[in-house]
Amino acid sequence: MSLDQHKALVQRAFDAFNAQDLGLAVDACTENVRGQLQQHLDTMPWVDYRVEITEMIAEGSRVVAVISTEGVHAASYHGIPPTGRHFTNQGVVIFRVEGGRLSEMESYIDSLGVVTQLGGSVLPRLPGS
């Protein structure tokens, strides 16, 4: 497969994720990657959630997708009760292609940025404050 074909697999996976129908990505992802994506769909505390690929870099069997996300906070997240606030976020997802399908996925997301946008803090409260 060409590097452009590798990138097309990643685009199909994110299109299926955004549609919340991973059946659309059966031919693009191994069961392992579909399982990871489904777990995100099943547990994410957001509504109106969208992922946009802002850049993709492919080399060998790896594809790196730089992503921008947005959504509305609708369930508990890191101890923060639902706020109904809109948030945006950035991250990087690294895929490995094997046998013409996405076989591994690692994601690195700015969780601290989301916590801050939702009004949370990671700083400990000082006595008397």
pLDDT of 62 > 90? The answer is yes
Beta carbons of 16 and 22 less than 8 angstroms apart: yes
Domains (range + CATH), the chain:
3-117 (3.10.450.50)
Query: Is 101 buried (19+), middle (13-18) or exposed (0-12) by CB count in 10 A?
Result: buried
Model confidence band, residue 127 (pLDDT cutoffs 50, 70, 90): confident
User: Is 125 a residue whose pLDDT tops 70?
Assistant: no
Torsion over CA: 85, 90, 94, 97 (sign): positive
Q: What pLDDT does 126 receive?
A: 73
Question: Residue 125 corresponds to which tokens in the numbers above?
Answer: 């409260």
User: pLDDT tens, 4-41?
Assistant: 999 999 999 999 999 999 899 889 999 999 999 999 99
Q: What is the pLDDT of residue 129?
A: 60
**Does the pLDDT of residue 48 top 80, yes or no?**
yes
Residue 54, pLDDT > 80, answer: yes
Which pLDDT does position 36 carry in this prediction?
Answer: 93
